[in-house]
């Protein structure tokens, strides 16, 4: 819990939101690190809907780990302003 509180104090997100993110990630076997959560927070900070982007990133990683990542999740990221399809194409040579 100390890890959650420390992280929440450095972001615009409430403790409840950060706690939920940690629980969601841990539920699929991902140990959320401060670095991972900071990347989510930094990415979200570029959007007008910071909480929505933060939650979308957590859901996308959660679904990916569970083996259920699909075009819907990638499109949700794109809808928040994150060019997910472009990133996948440029960095991993993956397309639709």
Distance of CA 49 to the CA centre of its chain: 13
pLDDT at 30 over 80: yes
Residue located via tokens 């997910």: 84
Q: What HEC string does 40-74 produce? A: HHHHHCCCCCHHHHHHHHHHHHHHHHCCCCCHHHH
The three-class DSSP label of residue 94 is coil
| Least trusted range by pLDDT, from 41-45, 55-59, 91-95 | 91-95
Bigger pLDDT: 22 or 85? 22
Contacts 24+ apart (CB under 8 A), 65-68: 65/25, 65/28, 65/29, 65/30, 66/28
């Amino acid at each position: 819990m100390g890890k959650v509180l420390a992280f929440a104090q450095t972001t615009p997100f409430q403790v409840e939101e950060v706690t939920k993110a940690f629980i969601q990630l841990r539920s699929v076997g991902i140990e959320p690190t401060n670095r991972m959560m900071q990347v989510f927070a930094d990415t979200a900070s570029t959007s007008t809907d910071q909480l929505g982007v933060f939650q979308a990133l957590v859901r996308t990683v959660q679904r990916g780990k569970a083996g259920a990542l699909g075009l819907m999740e990638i499109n949700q990221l794109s809808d928040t302003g994150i060019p997910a399809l472009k990133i996948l194409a440029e960095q991993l040579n993956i397309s639709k």
